[in-house]
């Protein structure tokens, strides 16, 4: 049940973003050091490629594979496919059937193999085989929505963007930082209220937090490190 306020929307109140992100980053450092969890698959793929020229392609490919797929499956499939197709030209040489085989068992692996082939063709024909570092150009690629485009910008190019997936959307609304009905609207609202220095961090921090603590059903509120910043809106049972 949503809490009753003073008339001012919860998202309009000043948020202690510095405190929120300090606590989230401390929690992430601790949980990773204890090997109790791993960074999201896309972040792991980006780290794997460092400053390699192939990093944007690796991030784009793994983000496409990640849609409706668990992180451990995404990471394994991404590394497997990238070992055979480190660039768009190599992926086209593989063919759609082999690309799908290497991508299996990610969700909708055949459809994603077709999308990757179309993307590879466009990159080779229009961008000299390179992934564009422009939001609008990325959104023109088959199968690329705002979530994917923003993730490529932040993880591959270290550019400003706000990637909002189901975890970011859920936590931001649950905490009362925003009041939105869709991930895209959450992104637009965060662009208005979130200081830019936190744009690149919010996805990997809240995805990890949402996978481990702030779960959709029965979240671990007793372990929450940002509880004083969270209004627990629409939270029923918690642990």
d(CA 77, CA 206): 23
- Per-residue pLDDT of 144-157, as tens digits, reads 999 999 999 999 99
What's the pLDDT tens digit per position in 72-116? Answer: 999 999 999 999 999 999 999 999 999 999 999 999 999 999 999
Question: Reduced to 3 states, what is the DSSP secondary structure of residue 143?
Answer: coil
Q: What is the pLDDT at residue 37? A: 83
Which of 7-16, 151-160, 228-237 has the weakest average pLDDT?
A: 7-16
Q: Of these residues, 51, 147, 201, 234, which one is catalytic?
A: 147
| Least confident residue range of 2-16, 110-124, 180-194 | 2-16
Counts for the chain of helices (H) and strands (E), in that order: 13, 0
Q: How far is CA 25 from the centre of its chain?
A: 16
Identified catalytic residue from 165, 200, 201, 228: 165
* Rounded-to-integer distance, Cα 236 and Cα 239, Å: 10
Half-sphere exposure of 230 (CA within 13 A, CB side): 24
Determine whether 165 is an active site residue.
yes
* pLDDT at residue 122 in the model: 98
All structural domains of the chain: 10-36+162-229 (1.10.1670.10), 41-157 (1.10.340.30)
Q: Is the pLDDT of residue 23 over 70?
A: yes
Q: Is 235 within 8 Å of 214 (Cβ atoms)?
A: no
């Amino acid at each position: 049940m949503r809490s009753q306020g003073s008339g001012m929307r919860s998202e309009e109140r000043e948020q202690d973003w510095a405190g929120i992100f300090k606590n989230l980053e401390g929690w992430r450092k601790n949980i990773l050091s204890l090997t109790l969890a791993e960074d999201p698959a896309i972040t792991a793929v980006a780290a794997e490629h460092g400053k390699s020229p192939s990093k944007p392609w690796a991030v784009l490919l793994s983000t496409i594979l990640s849609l409706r797929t668990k992180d451990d499956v995404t990471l394994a499939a991404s590394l497997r496919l990238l070992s055979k197709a480190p660039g768009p030209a190599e992926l086209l040489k593989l063919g759609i059937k082999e690309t799908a085989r290497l991508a299996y068992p990610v969700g909708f692996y055949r459809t994603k193999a077709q999308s990757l082939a179309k993307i590879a063709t466009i990159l080779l024909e229009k961008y000299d085989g390179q992934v564009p570092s422009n939001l609008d150009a990325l959104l023109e690629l088959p199968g690329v929505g705002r979530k994917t485009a923003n993730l490529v910008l932040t993880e591959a190019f270290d550019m400003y963007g706000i990637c909002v997936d189901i975890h970011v959307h859920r936590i931001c609304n649950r905490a009362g930082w925003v009041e939105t009905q869709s991930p895209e609207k959450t992104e637009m609202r965060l662009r208005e209220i979130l200081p830019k220095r936190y744009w690149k961090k919010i996805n990997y921090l809240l995805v990890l937090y949402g996978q481990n603590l702030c779960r959709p059903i029965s979240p671990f509120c007793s372990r929450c490190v940002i509880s004083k910043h969270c209004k627990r809106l629409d939270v029923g049972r918690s642990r």
